[in-house]
């Protein structure tokens, strides 16, 4: 995954930036691991799943965010 950041400093006080996250919109997993999981109800109520100590083993993942553009303005005073 490639991120891009560019900025311009107008003077000592004003600066602007632009960030492009996931520049080429890569489809992949940001986080992927093996572990036990349960539903929100099982965790809250303590029934089955995590509450009963019998979580379902699996591969939880979190996909990469799609291409994102972020603008920033910084003012020092």
- Does the pLDDT value for residue 3 go beyond 90? yes
Side-chain half-sphere exposure of 61, counting CA atoms within 13 A: 8
Helices and strands counted in the chain (H then E): 1, 7
Give backbone dihedrals phi and psi of 73, rounded to 5 degrees, phi first: -135, 125
Q: Which residues contact 53 (CB under 8 A, 6 or more apart)?
A: none
Task: Give the pLDDT confidence of 17-28 residue by residue, as tens digits.
Answer: 999 999 999 999
0.75 surpassed by pTM: no
- Does the pLDDT value for residue 44 go beyond 70? no
Query: Using CA atoms, how far apart are residues 24 and 37, in angstroms rounded to an integer?
Result: 32
Helix (H) or strand (E) holding 32: strand 29-32
């Amino acid at each position: 995954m490639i991120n891009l950041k560019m900025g311009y400093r107008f003077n000592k006080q004003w600066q602007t930036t632009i960030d492009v996250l996931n520049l080429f919109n890569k489809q992949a997993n940001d986080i992927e691991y093996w572990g036990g999981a349960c539903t929100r109800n099982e965790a809250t109520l303590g029934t089955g799943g995590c509450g009963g100590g019998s979580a379902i083993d699996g591969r939880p993942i979190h996909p990469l965010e799609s291409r994102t553009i972020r603008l920033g303005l910084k003012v020092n005073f």
